[in-house]
Structure 1
């Protein structure tokens, strides 16, 4: 990888060229998806990753200084690709589609790839100039925008573990995609059907107040109707206010178990939690789902493994 520090004055042109390249290849993805034979979601996902996202991966280290507006313009490209892959209507929430396809946001992907590229450069730079500029900046290097962004990325990992060790590669999913998760629950001393709703509410508030306080709270629930229709829902509250952008509803396979629907809701909540800053509390009323998450004998369950 070659990085020219201090000569990044044409970010607008670079982003425009990236978008043009990606948009031309979106036409190919659309043609394959709508062909007479048709392709499955895994095939279309692989095509997107190898033909379209790979262009952005190649430029990841040069994109870490992009403004939020420019990053969002690239995110729109992936959103369009996900709609093509899933064949969802425009009314479908993009977070729901992303969860179903299993793709990180481009912002997360750029961070992951750029971190790998920077660490690789630090390990292979023979003259030590690049390493000196990043790790021990002096003079104008302290004010360089790209170097500051690179140092900010490296601060999210224990960089000393990755230097001078070419056999150790930064994980594809970066540390910021793996928040620490603590699962806690306790048995009820009564049956929910035997007590008034207000008593259930008071009991929940008492238990909830004992948890570490978080600005963001995700409530999950699953449902299984009498006709076999199943699904799950997630509601995001920030500082006690419902956030429509972080709330979604997901359809599950008909006639699946209630535990599966509850696990689907928890899995979707974790996807949303990745984009939130600070601690996030996820609330579920399913004892069976929570027990399956912490159980060592649930390894064959795909949803549990995803969580």
Structure 2
């Protein structure tokens, strides 16, 4: 039931019920029975088939397709990249908004929705009407809308179960994701969404526990300065420069930061092609390494190495800590501190660094280009690579949501390529 501002504007839409043979009253006013209703931009029908909404989307996108066609004319000279960007942000965004509702579309309705994107791709590529759809998807780099809806549903579900695990819908989705897809026969929204995520092979990743902050972490006020100094490569030479010059510059920066009584760490992380990961740090003659949980990203492995170096410095009460790493993105992520991704690692680094500073220590994080011949960097790199093959996992933690989303996008791309290969092998 969708109440309006006045009772005269209130309508009644019964879901999954046969037509009512009796009047429905609200406050003495007989409600008008409707078969479709628009709520928050989505057209709902009695059977939740979303057929009315797909027709609405195609009608709404028609004027935007006309604009896309006009931009594609030779007189304007719009490149394919411009046309593709216009399509993604102006046309496909209409589908992205309602994607979470449309995971259970029937095949005829799904095909009707695909026509919207197929027409747009033909305009962008200038392809003739007889071009196979799988070729259109491969040439444009755009997955089918069916795959796009599945990706959006998995993305929203991941955000929901990670950020609001206490909600009843999060609990229901996690419980359903724990069942095999054949055990989800009922076709309600939750089970359909869970089955869609199963088909992407993402159910185990979405069932994992939330990425919680490090124990004892307190979110600092936004005006609080960082507990470490970050030296970024503002004047670093490009990698295309002479290797000897890069090496000499790196050695001079390392020597300038070193001083009596300081603890100088070199850190690195590595992920092997089979998904195993390792982290390591080098300080003096000491080399420490760990094998990480499978499925973590290279950025997480780099940050785990920084965390290990900080923990070692905290345990040995060092007063001046210098950490050299070749992962620039780790520094950038630490500068823009936020608790949306890599929560455990970032809060652990922040907490341990704060404890060191409270003891009077100074922490300097310094970026060095990797693989230029600096001994400490090379030793840490070799140790991290070797840690990937350790027999046991010694530093377990969860993959980050951003890494899971990246893996989902890679899965969608793989499915598109497999469809193309199937089309070729089938002689279609």
TM-score, structure 1 normalization: 0.52
What corresponds to 2:409 in structure 1? 173
C-alpha deviation, 1:99, in angstroms? 2.0
2:191 paired with 1:148: yes
Q: 1:8 to 1:88 in 2, by over 3 A?
A: same
Contact 1:112 1:174 (8 Å CA) reproduced: no
The alignment partner of 1:173 has SS state of helix
Q: Please state if 1:12 is matched with 2:51.
A: yes
After superposition, the C-alpha distances for 1:209-250 in whole angstroms (9 at most, x for unaligned) are: xxxxxxx9959xxxxxxxxxxxxxx8323xxxxx42xxxxxx
Equivalent residue for 1:252? none
**Could you tell me which of 115, 118, 123 is aligned with 1:84?**
123
Measure, in 2, the Cα distance between the counterparts of 1:31 and 1:91.
22
Once residues 93 and 144 of structure 1 are traced to their aligned partners in structure 2, the CA distance between those partners, rounded to angstroms, is 31
Counterpart check, 1:99 vs 2:110: no
Structure with max Cα Rg: 2
Deviation at 1:129, TM superposition (A): 0.6
Pick from 164, 177, 180 the counterpart of residue 210 of structure 2: 164
- Residue segments in structure 1 that go unaligned for 5+ positions in a row: 182-215, 220-233, 238-242, 245-307
Shift of 1:142: 8.0
Equivalent in the alignment of 1:41:
80
Give the superposition deviation at 1:151. 1.4
- CA-CA distance at 1:144 after TM superposition: 5.2
Calculate the aligned-residue CA RMSD, in Å: 3.4
Q: Which string of whole-angstrom CA distances, capped at 9 and with x for unpartnered residues, describes residues 154-205 of structure 1?
A: 33212356541251232251535447x9xxxxxxxxxxxxxxxxxxxxxxxx
How many residue pairs match? The answer is 185
Indicate conservation of the 8 Å contact 2:68/2:87, yes or no. yes
Measure the CA separation in 1 of the matches of 2:87 and 2:163.
Answer: 31
Counterpart residue number, 2:323:
none
Give 1:91 deviation, angstroms. Answer: 3.0
Within-5 A mapping of 1:220-259: 235-237=424-426, 243-244=427-428
Q: Distance in 1 between matches of 2:94 and 2:209?
A: 27
> Secondary structure at the residue paired with 1:88?
coil
**What residue in structure 2 maps to residue 113 of structure 1?**
152
**Alpha-carbon distance change, 177 to 87 in structure 1, aligned in 2, over 3 angstroms:** closer
Give secondary structure in 2 for the equivalent of 1:59: helix
Report the 3-state secondary structure (helix = DSSP H, G, I; strand = E; otherwise coil) of the residue aligned with 2:162.
Answer: helix
Separation in 2, partners of 1:8, 1:58? 21
Match of 1:276 in 2: none
Relative distance call for 1:7 and 1:144 in structure 2 (3 A) is farther
